[in-house]
Amino acid sequence: MTNHQETSPLLHHGTSATAGVPYNTTPVASSAQPAAAVALTADQRHQETKGLIYMTLSAFFFSFMSLLVSLTAKSLPSFEIVFFRGVIQTVLGVVACRYLNISPFGQKGVRFLLFCRGFAGSCGLGFFFYALSVLPLADATVIFFLGPVFTAILARIVLKEPFTPLDALASSISMVGVVLVAKPSVLFPPSPISSPPSGGIEGGEGSLMMALLQRQEEDHRRLFGALSALCGAMCSAVAYVLVRKIGKQGAHSMQHVTYFGVVSCFVSAAGLYVMQGGYVAPEGNLMWTGVLTLGVSAFVGQILLNSGLQLAPIGPGTLMRQNDIVFAFIFQITVQHEQPDLFSFLGASLVMICTGGMALNKWRLEKKRVQLELQQANSE
């Protein structure tokens, strides 16, 4: 995610100047130019609507990427999928930088921060992809979307941004939603396992023990997957705060994308050989198609996200980004044929409502701040 004041890549290359106006820029017209003010306001609303559409489309492409990760992770290590995604993102990012006539390396003063942003994003992606390999698609997506909560907390500590009591309440309720999605066995005792009727006492006891071990292993895997998605959300929060800090020093969004791709190649390669036993060759054209398609989908999603952030108000834009969770549920039900339970739906609803409420509250505070600045400027 990039700072909204950066130049939006590709989709606005070569367009009019008004297309590059940040969403929080409020035109102030004199009484001698009412028609121009109305026209500018109408154009601004048009650009904001376009930004919301971009955000919704980015949610679709990111959810489609997550679906492909969930499918391919059954056969490939999660870090290997991160590696392929990083390679594709690096190649496409360099091509886009050349198209936009900018350096993919960035200015000397921000290169280290760009590297740190890429490292945090790569770690977050590795955690998230692992969660997708062991959790249902919708559950992993819901937990990973706690990122805005951690971003708000970290932005308060690092950037001294406001963190209101409403934000604190929404963050607490969001954690309750995550517990409902993760369903730890301590709070959600599993149903008792009945032993098979045939096979004698010894055979029945053996089957029961095997079923208990399988359930225990499944509970541990689910808990570890939920913790992994939670760590991914924390890493994404670090990356977002770094993006905001970098944005004040000047860096193009495509430079973020390129650094992210390059660093993720090295991080995922190290994780693949240290933690997951090394490279596993994808088998068949279908697997290769899935790996390549998820990389392209992620890149298209990032372009749409960057463009949407440039045009859409932060509150409604974040709400459109919540469609990731909606699309994840749709893909899980229609493509993977897995029906989420009531707790997953309830937990997802809590997370969406609370993170969306935090975004709208930040939007309200930002608008209030801009209005106060305008009033002070007019009074002077």
How many Cβ atoms are within 10 Å of 42's Cβ, its own excluded?
Answer: 10
Is residue 267 within 8 A of residue 85, CB to CB? The reply is no
- What are the backbone angles phi and psi of residue 197, rounded to the nearest 5°? -70, -25
- Rounded CA-CA distance 315/168 in Å is 17
* Measured CA distances, 291 to 133, 178, 265, 308 (Å): 14, 29, 14, 26
For residue 359, which of 311, 328, 322, 324 has the smallest C-alpha distance? Answer: 322
How many Cβ atoms are within 10 Å of 198's Cβ, its own excluded?
Answer: 8
pTM of structure: 0.79
Q: What is the pLDDT along the chain (380 residues), one digit of tens a residue?
A: 333 333 333 554 443 333 333 334 344 444 444 555 455 577 777 787 888 888 889 899 999 999 999 999 888 999 999 999 999 999 999 999 999 899 888 888 888 988 998 899 899 999 999 999 988 999 999 999 888 788 888 888 887 777 888 888 888 888 888 888 877 765 666 665 555 555 555 555 667 677 677 777 777 888 888 899 999 999 988 988 888 778 667 778 788 889 999 999 999 999 999 988 898 988 889 999 999 999 999 999 888 887 777 777 666 766 777 788 889 999 999 999 888 888 888 988 888 888 888 877 777 777 777 788 788 877 76
Q: C-alpha dihedral over 246, 248, 249, 252, to 10 degrees?
A: 70
Provide the token pair at 290. Answer: 């899935």
Is residue 120 within 8 A of residue 246, CB to CB? The reply is no
Contacting residues for 359 by C-beta, under 8 A, at least 6 apart: 148, 314, 315, 317, 318, 319
218 Cα distance to chain centroid? 26
Is residue 96 within 8 A of residue 13, CB to CB? The reply is no
- Rounded CA-CA distance 302/2 in Å is 9
Give the pLDDT confidence score for residue 187 in this predicted structure: 62
- Rounded CA-CA distance 43/17 in Å is 11
Is residue 87 within 8 A of residue 298, CB to CB? The reply is no
193 Cα distance to chain centroid? 38
Q: C-alpha dihedral over 101, 252, 371, 374, to 10 degrees?
A: -50
Give the pLDDT confidence score for residue 2 in this predicted structure: 37
Give the pLDDT confidence score for residue 152 in this predicted structure: 83
For the chain, the C-alpha Rg in angstroms (whole number) is: 23
Give the pLDDT confidence score for residue 94 in this predicted structure: 93
- Rounded CA-CA distance 232/146 in Å is 9
